[in-house]
Amino acid sequence: MSVAPQQIEAPELPLSVVIPIFNEEGNIESLHKELTAALTAIGRDYEVIAINDGSQDRSHEMLNAVQARDERWHIIHFRRNFGQTAALAAGFDAARGEVVVTIDADLQNDPRDIEMILDKFAEGYDIVSGWRQNRKESLFLRRIPSMLANRLISRSTGIKLHDYGCTLKAYDFDVVKGVQLYGELHRFIPALASQMGVRVAEVPVKDRSRHWGSSKYGFGRTFKVILDLIVVVFVLSYFNRPLYVFGAAGFLVGGIGALLGAYLTVFKLLTENKIGDRPLLQLAALLMVLGVQLISTGIVADMLMRTYHESQHKPIYFIRERKRTEKAGEDSLFPGN
């Protein structure tokens, strides 16, 4: 029997802070200072995991210097630039905190807001997301595309957030260990995690201007986000049994085709008119073929899902909590709890 990964690992300390870093040499010192002050004020034991995503400036040396002074900081240096999502994924893999907070290195988020996020988290949520107020970025290039994207994502995933793009978020340990990230998918974690049955809350946070340097993204990101959204919607709606979705569409389309075909047959038999030149005949044939194809696509997709679940031991359920009275001398049935 296989055990799902999230049942084996258990958090080892209260808080992890994960920071993706790409060419941020001018921000690292202030980041360390502001973050240390904010986290000390919170008063929990913590670790910071900084991922150097293939920076070409002096971020490498500067991060190592911070790590030499402050053993709570762990640094992961990528071989090259793999992107913000990959950096966050590496941070999630390494994180040992009960709560995992993500924040940008450019200090656009205020580290002092972490406390508020954690307070909300303590009310019993699995994800708490920052919602940037009074955004400083350009209206047409950033804020309007971002507003439209947030509406679109909220509508199509059913998880309503005003600000999917805000990196300042807090996640439960099991959530970060349970989501698979690639592409630009990190902004969709709340949506992806929704299939685990997570409780999501949003907290207004400050938005500041970038402390130093310039943004790593341009308008082009909007298209990647939209393409990723299509994948997310697909994953969310067809996840467990794609055959049901494709099969239903196949029966509908094929059924209409069959009805049209039956009508034409009866028409020909009763009236002895020719039906060979009727466009309706072509439509009937087309719909019936389409129906068969949809159903077979569903079967193929279903087999893919089966491979996915079985080869990677993916659970088809997610557990929030277990309660059971352990009797003396009995082996724990629930490892990791």
Alpha carbon of 205 to those of 29, 157, 167, 212, 281: distances in Å? 22, 23, 11, 20, 61
Residues belonging to the chain: 337
Work out which of 52, 108, 109, 150 binds Mg ion, going by CB under 5 A: 108
Q: Which does 105 bind (CB under 5 to 8 A by kind): ligand UDP, Mg ion, none?
A: ligand UDP
Residue 53 within binding range of Mg ion, rule CB under 5 A: no
CA atoms within 13 A on the CB side of 3: 10
In whole angstroms, the minimum distance from the beta carbon of 59 to ligand UDP comes to: 8
In whole angstroms, the minimum distance from the beta carbon of 144 to ligand UDP comes to: 15
Residue 295 within binding range of ligand UDP, rule CB under 6 A: no
The C-alpha atoms of residue 141 and residue 215 are separated, in whole angstroms, by 12
Work out which of 4, 16, 17, 22 binds ligand UDP, going by CB under 6 A: 22
The C-alpha atoms of residue 8 and residue 185 are separated, in whole angstroms, by 25
CA atoms within 13 A on the CB side of 71: 1
The C-alpha atoms of residue 83 and residue 27 are separated, in whole angstroms, by 18
Residue 21 within binding range of ligand UDP, rule CB under 6 A: yes
Residue 106 within binding range of Mg ion, rule CB under 5 A: yes
Query: Closer to Mg ion at the Cβ: 17 or 198?
Result: 17
In whole angstroms, the minimum distance from the beta carbon of 163 to Mg ion comes to: 13
In whole angstroms, the minimum distance from the beta carbon of 49 to ligand UDP comes to: 12
Q: Which of 204, 205, 203, 169 is nearest to 186 (CA)?
A: 169
Q: Which does 314 bind (CB under 5 to 8 A by kind): ligand UDP, Mg ion, none?
A: none
The C-alpha atoms of residue 265 and residue 223 are separated, in whole angstroms, by 49
Binding mask 208-227 for ligand UDP (x = CB under 6 A): -------xxx----------
Residue 207 within binding range of Mg ion, rule CB under 5 A: no
CA 229 to chain centre: 10
Work out which of 30, 81, 156, 297 binds ligand UDP, going by CB under 6 A: 81
Query: Closer to ligand UDP at the Cβ: 120 or 208?
Result: 208
The C-alpha atoms of residue 35 and residue 40 are separated, in whole angstroms, by 8
Residue 84 within binding range of ligand UDP, rule CB under 6 A: yes
Query: Closer to ligand UDP at the Cβ: 39 or 196?
Result: 39
Query: Closer to Mg ion at the Cβ: 38 or 236?
Result: 38
The C-alpha atoms of residue 296 and residue 117 are separated, in whole angstroms, by 47
Q: What are phi and psi of 150, to 5 degrees?
A: -60, -40
Chain residues binding Mg ion by CB under 5 A are: 104, 106, 108
Chain residues binding ligand UDP by CB under 6 A are: 20-22, 24, 53, 81, 83-84, 87, 104-106, 108, 215-217
